[in-house]
Structure 1
Amino acid sequence: MSDVHPIPREFIGSGPLSGTVKVPGDKSISHRSLMFSALAVGHSQVSGLLEGEDVLSTAAALRAMGARIERGDDGIWHIDGVGVGSLLQPTTPLDMGNSGTSARLLMGLVASHAIDTIFIGDDSLSKRPMGRVSVPLSQIGAQFSGTNGDYLPMTVKGVIGAAPIQYRLPIASAQVKSAMMLAALNISGVSEIIEPIATRDHSERMLRGFGADLKVEQDEDGTRHIFVRGEAELKPQNIDVPGDPSSAAFPVVAALITPGSEVRVTNVGMNPTRTGIYKMLIEMGADLTFVNEREVGGEPVADIIAKYSSLSGIDVPPEIAPSMIDEFPIFFVAASMAKGRTMTSGLDELRVKESDRLALMAAGLAAIGARVKEVEDGLIIDGSDGEALAGGAMINSALDHRIAMSFAVAGQNCLNPVAVDDISPIATSFPTFEKMMEELANG
């Protein structure tokens, strides 16, 4: 992204939004479907893959390590895997682009293979810390040498013959959990990853589908123990990726805050570890209906119907944060137009995402007329009671796709245009976002 010319854009509402849309495939599942297919022996197929830049970075890295990955003319992706333990030494650095998921999960993959490589990324990713995975992975003998110790570019040297892992996550992070699970796949014996606070469980669900020997036990206090038997033999699969619930949150909130709107988003993944934002929006009074509920490839799926609603502020419990961690930027937009005060806490993780999302959302919302206070681990927002905000500001997106999309949606209910300094990062996760918003505006 660092060499892409910035694309500024103004956003302003033009009346009610209506229509039926389909959002891109779930980003988390898309990443994992490629990785696990590359580790299976044989031919896997993936339909509905998110073809954003983040996922394409994962595909390119796996190709560099020996997997054959091609997109068919029908949109179905074909992966011929090399098997656990058989990844090849890449001949050039692995470019992660803007994708923290690619970087952290693939570091876990490389850590237990005989691979010595360099991870690089764009300006934004190079400011994100990698210690959360490099420190625990160092315990199995893998070696990490990064810029200023903790940042990309980072040299990673994997290790063969490591002892099984027993690791307790100090923070709630599906990326860290998945990185450790990926490393465990090529370690002889049973590794245990202990998760005090449950996070999205796509890795567990999908690995079972690929035939991994994986068990999950839960204590009375909710602590999860994930046991992975290494030297796994994964079997190829056909995967249908559901729509990304994080992406779906943008048209849903756009409908909730734009008077007269009714929007249907189809085929959205409803994994209970990912639906925190919808639970919180309903608590605020959102008119959301879930229809056509079903299960696809082990993942619950539904269509979401969202209608303009009078929202009320709430206190968001910190324990729900892992199930909506990526959706807080757009949730803050909804809160800024609700009646009364919304309080959030326990969101330290948002300061080390693609950007410091707490600081950027606080500054951006204040610039368009919202009443917001930034605290150490959250935001306190006094809403406008449904009234349009002033708008009329240029927003610094800091190369963060979710910041850019959140303020594009905020512009739907502002008196003056909201300008975003650069919408090009949106392509990392939602390349059809602008087209979708235009279709909903045109009814």
Structure 2
Amino acid sequence: MDYTVQPAASLHGILQLPADKSISHRAAMFAALHQGRSTITNFSEAADPHSTLDCMRELGVEIEEPGNHTLIVHGVGRDGLQTPSGDLDCGNSGTTMRLLSGIIAGSGVSARLTGDESLSVRTMKRIIEPLRAMGAHIEAREDDFAPLNFRRDAELKPLHFPLPIPSAQLKSCVLLAGLFGDGPTEVIETLPSRDHTERLLNLAIEEKEKKRIIRSSRKDVVPGQSYRVPNDFSAAAFWLVAGAIHPEAEISLPGVGLNPTRTGALGILQQMGADMEITNNDHEGAEPVADIRVKSSPLKPVKITGEVVPNCIDEIPILAIAMLFADGVSRVSGAEELRHKETDRLNALAEMLESAGADFEEYKDGFTIKGDPDFRPDPAAFSSFHDHRIAMAAAVLALMGPDSSTVLNGHCTAISYPGFWEDLSLLTN
């Protein structure tokens, strides 16, 4: 479905954002590995975490959904997973496939993991190699892509694994496999990545010579997962940018997850001069949360380098929109990983910026944007590339135009933010 976006005279309102997808995935998986019952509230209604639920049910885990975004998970423990009767369909969810691969490899359950057309062309080599080193037998299309066929004939071997890239999915995959081993598996991290897995599993972490060493083994007790999932910071980022760039805006976002390994975009917007107030700091389970308010702001240009990128990788598309309205040249480098998301997001951004009449240059690992506080994007039919974050970034950009624009296949926002278009309408009416 295509969506038409009219220029907004103002943006005002309070939004109840969707639940955090990354935490929702993990809450369901870890609750299944816990021996006992967990009650998870504010579980994400997005498509991806529900692919995780479908897979866990196929593995013999009873999950009740009594309503109001609540789950009751009857955990079967590490040794209670059952061989599925059919494929484990991960849908469009790379998180489901990569994290579940660690669980399947560790458990020794024979299973076949599949995905939709988009997921089936995303590389899985990064997880295949360490899992094979631990003793898993994995067959993959072209030895790289789904479907993935798993079996394990021998005991799981512990692994000493220096993380080659700052990837929370790769880190989590290896640590989850390690939970099933008698000896400790170690993941050595030199650049930070999202730490939800080690937080929610309460894993041992050692800081040593500018490295983080995270360990997992069968000795680790998988804790229950009874808590409220925080609201998604990645969803908040779209409205933080919209509120900052629009000349007549004030937007309030309660209960947002502020995990420090997720909120690089918050610091970047503060560096750019965004007028934001953070109040009511609290915790939901192991995760920090707070309320955020943003107002119209004059923005300065910014440089985002490879050291910062892992902490804001999902927010770079919408940060690019903020850069369009900053007073000067902004630069993103070290972001080649964006070419391996649901689509090549650097290429998708370049097409969006070109359609809008922006002054920019694309590079192999990023881009530069010459911003202008008075920039008004050309009305256009923006391609979403069936990528939820590209679609939402295009919608925020279209709010600033002199005339209406269209976001093609904008329904893909449901992957992470099913209520996005309703919330946009709430702010503009």
TM-score range, shorter chain: over 0.9
- Letter in structure 1 aligned against 2:108: A
In structure 2, C-alpha distance between the alignment counterparts of 1:277 and 1:92, rounded to whole Å: 40
Kindly indicate whether the alpha-carbon contact (under 8 Å) linking 2:324 and 2:375 is maintained by their aligned counterparts in 1. no
- Output aligned runs, 1:393-404, within 5 Å: 393-404=380-391
One-letter amino acid of the structure 2 residue matched with residue 243 of structure 1: N
- 1:438 aligned partner, one-letter code: S
Question: Equivalent residue for 1:335?
Answer: 323
- AA of the residue aligned to 1:57: S
Q: Following superposition of structure 1 onto structure 2, how do residues 14-163 of structure 1 map, counting pairs within 5 Å?
A: 14-163=8-157
Q: Which digits, 9 at most, give the CA deviation of each residue in 1:343-369, with x for residues without a partner?
A: 011101111111111111011111111
The answer to whether structure 1 residue 203 and structure 2 residue 197 are counterparts is yes
Superposed CA offset, 1:328-349 (max 9, x none): 0111111112111110111011
Could you tell me which runs of 5 or more consecutive residues in structure 2 were left unpaired when the two chains were aligned.
none
CA distance in 2, matches of 1:355, 1:413: 25
Distance 1:158 1:381 in 2: 49
Aligned residue in 2 for 1:227: 215
Alignment of 1:360 with 2:348, yes or no, is: yes
Q: Partner amino acid for 2:406?
A: A
CA root-mean-square deviation? 1.3
Instruction: Name the CA shift for 1:63/1:235 in 2 (closer, same or farther; >3 Å).
Output: same
Aligned to 1:217: 206
The counterpart of 1:263, out of the listed 238, 251, 261, is 251
Aligned counterpart, 1:437: 424
User: Between the two proteins, what is the percent identity of the paired residues?
Assistant: 38
> SS state of the match for residue 112, structure 1?
helix
Is the counterpart of residue 379 in structure 1 residue 367 in structure 2? yes
Structure 1 residues 159 and 349, CA gap change in structure 2 (3 angstroms): farther
- Residue 205 (structure 1) shift: 0.7
Is the contact made by 1:112 and 1:160 (CA closer than 8 Å) also made in structure 2?
no
SS class of match (1:243): coil
What does residue 188 of structure 1 align with?
182
Name the residue aligned to 2:267.
Answer: 279
- Cα deviation for residue 231 of structure 1 reads 5.2
Counterpart Cα distance in 1 of 2:215 and 2:310: 21
Compute the displacement of 1:204 (Å). Answer: 0.8
Give the counterpart letter for 2:294 in structure 1: A
| Per-residue CA distance 1:370-421 (angstroms, 9 max, x = gap) | 111110111111112242222x222222221111111011111112323222
Q: 1:188 to 1:310 in 2, by over 3 A?
A: same
Runs of 4 or more off by more than 3 Å in structure 1?
A: none
Q: Distance in 2 between matches of 1:386 and 1:282?
A: 20
Q: Verify the 8 A CA contact 1:113 1:160 in the aligned structure 2.
A: no
Q: Is the 8 A contact 2:135 2:155 kept in 1?
A: no
Helix, strand or coil at the partner of 2:194:
coil
Question: Aligned in 2, Cα 1:414/1:159: closer, same or farther, shift over 3 Å?
Answer: farther
Deviation at 1:189, TM superposition (A): 1.5
Q: What SS does the aligned partner of 1:416 have?
A: coil
Residue 297 of structure 1 corresponds to: 285
**In the aligned structure 2, how far is the partner of 1:316 from the partner of 1:231?**
40
The TM-score with structure 1 as length reference comes to: 0.94
The structural deviation recorded for 1:148 is: 2.3
Paired residue for 1:347? 335
Inter-partner Cα distance in structure 2 for 1:387 and 1:348: 27
When residues 181 and 91 of structure 1 are mapped into structure 2, their CA distance, relative to the original with a 3 A threshold, is same
Q: Which residue, 219, 226, 230 being the options, matches 1:238? A: 226
Please name the residue that 2:407 is paired with.
420
Question: 2:303 aligns to what SS in structure 1?
Answer: coil
Cα distance change on mapping 1:25 and 1:160 into 2, 3 Å = farther
Residues in 1 aligned to 2:153 and 2:39: alpha-carbon distance in whole angstroms: 30
CA distance in 1, matches of 2:352, 2:381: 8
CA distance in 2 between partners of 1:118 and 1:395 (Å): 37
Cα pair 1:111 1:159 within 8 Å, conserved: no
CA distance in 1, matches of 2:4, 2:138: 42
Q: Which amino acid aligns with 2:276?
A: L
CA distance in 1, matches of 2:110, 2:60: 14
